[in-house]
């Protein structure tokens, strides 16, 4: 199915020169003078090679038909990450290259969306937010009341982030899975 380049989004799968690529980022540029363009960074599914390509925003790009299904995360082993389809109980192993930098945010029994092309996983979409425990952070400074003053912290998954001064080690916090940024204190 052909679509114009400006409609391509992260997670889409496109076909370029007979090869399938999963889109990592898609950014539209509108200069004051000249033609608007779309910069697409993508990873070739067959071997994991990263490619960057620029299109005119009105250029046609072949988008592959991808089936998205809900899966539940089970475990990690040497082959990759294993997920189970909740309806059919089929298990799928996703290579580590596809999960990429989202791996630290995977939690047992987490529900994810897997994009499948002809039965093979090509992309993964995690929930927007996940809850982790703060394992290490600096103590709050007395009198530090500025709302914008955040302090560094390390989460139970090993990711470094910044948290408000009132958060202490042992506190459970909600973070965005896209970049690890602090959202709120967990309500559990």
Summarize pLDDT for 113-168 with one digit per residue, the tens. Answer: 988 887 888 888 889 899 999 999 987 766 666 556 888 999 999 999 999 888 89
CATH number of 2-63: 2.30.30.30
* Sign for the pseudo-dihedral over CA of 85, 49, 66, 37: positive
Distance CA 89, CA 91 (A): 6
Distance CA 98, CA 55 (A): 24
Helix (H) or strand (E) holding 99: helix 96-99
Residue 8 has pLDDT above 80, yes or no: yes
Tokens 């679509």 correspond to what residue? 3
Question: pTM of the prediction?
Answer: 0.69
Alpha helices in 100-183 (DSSP H): none
Which is more confident, 2 or 111? 111
Give the percent of the chain with pLDDT over 70.
Answer: 95
Q: CA dist 146 to 22, 27, 51, Å?
A: 42, 34, 43
Contact 34, 58 (CB under 8 A): no
Distance CA 176, CA 83 (A): 21
Contact 174, 129 (CB under 8 A): yes
Residue 25 has pLDDT above 90, yes or no: no
CATH number of 129-185: 2.40.50.140
Residue 155: how many other CB atoms lie within 10 Å: 24
Give the percent of the chain with pLDDT over 90.
Answer: 36
Which of 32, 29, 78 lies closest to 55 in space, CA to CA? 29
Domain ranges of the chain: 2-63, 70-113, 129-185
Name the average pLDDT for the chain: 87
């Amino acid at each position: 199915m052909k679509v114009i380049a400006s409609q391509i989004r992260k997670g889409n799968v496109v076909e370029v020169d007979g090869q399938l690529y999963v889109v990592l980022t898609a950014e539209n540029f509108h200069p004051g003078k000249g033609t608007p363009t779309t910069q697409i960074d993508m990873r070739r599914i067959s071997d994991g090679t990263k490619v960057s390509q620029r299109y005119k925003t009105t250029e046609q790009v072949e988008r592959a038909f991808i089936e998205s299904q809900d899966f539940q995360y089970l475990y990690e082993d040497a082959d990759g990450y294993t997920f189970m389809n909740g309806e059919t109980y089929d298990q799928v192993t996703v290579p580590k290259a596809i999960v990429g930098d989202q791996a630290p945010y995977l939690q047992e029994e987490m529900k994810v969306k897997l994009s499948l092309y002809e039965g093979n996983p090509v992309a993964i979409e995690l929930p927007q937010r996940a809850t982790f425990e703060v394992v290490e952070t600096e103590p709050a400074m007395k009198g530090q009341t500025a709302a914008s003053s955040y302090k560094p912290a390390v989460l139970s998954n090993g990711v470094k982030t910044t948290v408000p001064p009132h958060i202490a080690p042992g506190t459970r916090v909600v973070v965005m899975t896209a970049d690890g940024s602090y959202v709120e204190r967990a309500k559990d």
